[in-house]
Structures are given as structure tokens and as C-alpha cells.
Structure 1
């Protein structure tokens, strides 16, 4: 430490001699301080520049859209909605047959519908949350969440042909013909007696 101070003093004296006293020690101190401030400002500019460049880096993209996972989620919700519509009174009697004969056709129709949309359009589609209760037909609709317009509608209708008892007629409609055509998914027999209303719950005794 003492050696550094001695060297500095020697340089000041030498510089004064070489410049014939035109540069004084106080001026040297001022120059040193100016250089120090210059270096500090340079450091700040470098840091600000790095911060700016960092802020210009592209924002991390959202997780890549997975078509299979999205479709699987729609299919699962479709099944949930169907059993929600059946309720506690209808489900025990037709639930198994529905899973074996109707649900696979329903899933096939949804898969065919999804194939008509590119990824950026498909991920805008969503499924209604609640099926209709009472005697209404709606199981669920799949619609465009941006426009609010339905794409495909899945329904079930209670039918009572003469002398045959009651049947549940499962079908769907699409936006291609303004939902006019009735696309059959199959029928399930209920009974001679009138079926309960949709979403009916068993009463607790």
C-alpha cells in the first residue's frame, strides 16, 4: 500500500518536471476524478444497454397446443355431461348400454368434427357445462368461444311409438346445414312406463 502511494507521488513529481510545472498535482487529481466519473457512466450505460437488450428478448411462448390432449378433454366432458343428464334415476338402467353403443359413435362424430379445424381454430372450441333438465333434448353443444356460435349439438329425445313403450333416441346436428339434419347415434329402450325427467335425483329416505 505504501509502495503504491510512493509510486503515485513519484509520477506526479516526474510529470511536473517534464511539463515544466504546467500540470500541477491538483490538476492531475481533477483529471483522475473526471476519468473515474467517465468510467462509472460507461458502466451505467453498459448496464442500461444490457437491460434494454434483455427486455427485447422474445417472451417465452405459451405451451404448445396438444391436439390429442385437447380432444381427450372434450370427449371426457362429453361423457360427464351425458351421465349428468341421465341423473340418478335413468343412469342405473341405461348407463352401461349407453357406454357400449352410443358413446363410441358420439366420440367418432366429435373426432370427425375436430379434423375439420386447424389447431388455431380447434383450440377456440369449448363444450357447454350443463345439459338440459326436464324433457328438453340437449346433452351438450360444442361451440366457438370467440363467436359464441354452435358447431355441433348432441341431443337425446324421448319417444313413445304406439304399443312399444318408451325409447331414448340419441342424435346430433351440425352447423353445416344450420342444424336441420338429424344424424342418428342409436336408440336405447326404457320401459312401458314414462321415464323420469332428465337430471332427476333419487330422493333420500
Structure 2
């Protein structure tokens, strides 16, 4: 379209709309040919879309890595706890553990996953050998690259004076060199001494 016609159309459009509406892009376009302009617009759209897809893919990948870790960790939290209890203790406190303690373990594990990068999540290891006897370890979550513990989930037997036995579920974190006991909850056993852990 010749330049003088384009300018005339811009002036007429402005007068008719009292300058309240911007003239269509087709009218105010510079001397570029319509084909090249269309190609530029399409190119920009393609670049924008590809960037969006890259960002979306990154978020989806990170979310899927996180979800994979959470699914694995929560399953292991239950399995390793039941393994530690052994048959006798599991029959007595298994249901209560699933209602009271396991959801709190899940919260702690979710908080940990929020703090870590995608690469760190991919390298986490969950120990699979709870200790028996009267020792406390249920399972630990470890950085697979460094071999260092990040969180330790434990259960301790408590026997307050003039009271029965309780199982005190708690965890320790590397943030304070595993010094503090972060309580998850307690489950009452009985006035009689509970059997050792891991008794089938």
C-alpha cells in the first residue's frame, strides 16, 4: 500500500474515532511487506511459545521429581516403621501410628523436599534397615552424593514415673547437628514393658 494512502487512512481513522482507538496494525505498519511482518509476528509467537514450554517443562519436571520422591519416602516411612515394630507391636499400635504419627512424618518429608533442588531430590537415599532391640532408629534420609544424613526418624521408649510405657516418635535434622528432638507424637503402650523392636 502506498505511503500516502496509509497516512490518509491513519488520519481518517483518528478523526472518526476522536483519537480514542488506535488504528489497526495493518494501517500503521511501516514499509515492511505484509509477508515479512507476518513472518516476524509468527516468529515472535513461536519463540514466546517455546520459552513458555521450556519453563513449563522445567516446573513439571521439578514437580514430578518432587512427587516421585514424596511417594517413595512416604511409602518407605510406613514400611520401615512397621518393620521396626515387628508383629507384636504392630498389632497393638499400627493403626494408631498410621493416624497420628505417619501424617506428621509426611509433613516433615514434604518440608524437606521444598527446601531441596531437583538435583538434590534425585540423589536422596532412604535407609532400609531399622534397628532392633531397644535402639531408636527407624530410618534416615541421606544425601546420596555426600553420604551425610539430612533427617533421622527415631522412636524412643519413655517410662514416666508412676505411669506406663510410651513410644515417643521424633526426628533430628542436620541443621542443628541432630541435637534437638523434634516431637512427632506419642503412643501409649501399657504398664508392662514392651517387647524389643523388630520381634516377628
TM range (shorter): 0.5 to 0.7
Contact between 2:85 and 2:197, CA under 8 Å: does it hold in 1?
yes
Aligned to 2:159: 160
In the alignment, does 2:178 pair up with 1:179? Answer: yes
* Other structure's SS at 1:143 match: strand
Supply the distance in 1 between the matched residues of 2:148 and 2:117 (Cα, whole angstroms): 17
The 4+ residue runs of structure 1 with deviation greater than 6 A are none
Instruction: Specify the SS of the correspondent of 2:79.
Output: helix
Distance 2:185 2:117 in 1: 30
- Which has the greater radius of gyration? 1
How many residue pairs are counted as aligned between the two chains? 138
The answer for the alignment partner of 2:72 in structure 1 is: 73
TM-score (norm 2): 0.67
State the shift of 1:107 in Å: 0.6
The answer to whether the 8 Å contact 2:65/2:122 transfers is no
Query: What is the aligned partner in structure 1 of residue 196 from structure 2?
Result: 197
- Distance across 2 between alignment mates of 1:70 and 1:160: 36
Q: Deviations over 1:133-190 (max 9, x none)?
A: 0000000000011111000000000011111110000000000000011101000000
Distance in 2 separating the partners of 1:132 and 1:66: 29
In the alignment, the residues of structure 2 paired with residue 70 and residue 181 of structure 1 have an alpha-carbon distance, to the nearest angstrom, of 25
In the TM superposition, residue 114 of structure 1 has moved relative to its aligned partner by 1.1
Distance 1:135 1:142 in 2: 21
Query: Could you list the per-position Cα deviations for residues 97-155 of structure 1 after superposition, in whole angstroms to 9, with x for gaps in the alignment?
Result: 00000000011001101110010111111100110100000000000111110000000
Aligned-residue Cα RMSD (Å) equals: 0.9
Query: What secondary structure, in the 3-state scheme, does the structure 2 residue paired with 1:181 have?
Result: coil
The 3-state SS of whatever aligns with 1:154 is: strand
Counterparts of 2:73 and 2:94, CA distance in 1:
19
Q: Name the structure 1 match of 2:26.
A: none
Gap regions ≥5 residues in structure 2? 1-60
Contact in 2 for aligned 1:74/1:126 (Cα 8 Å):
no
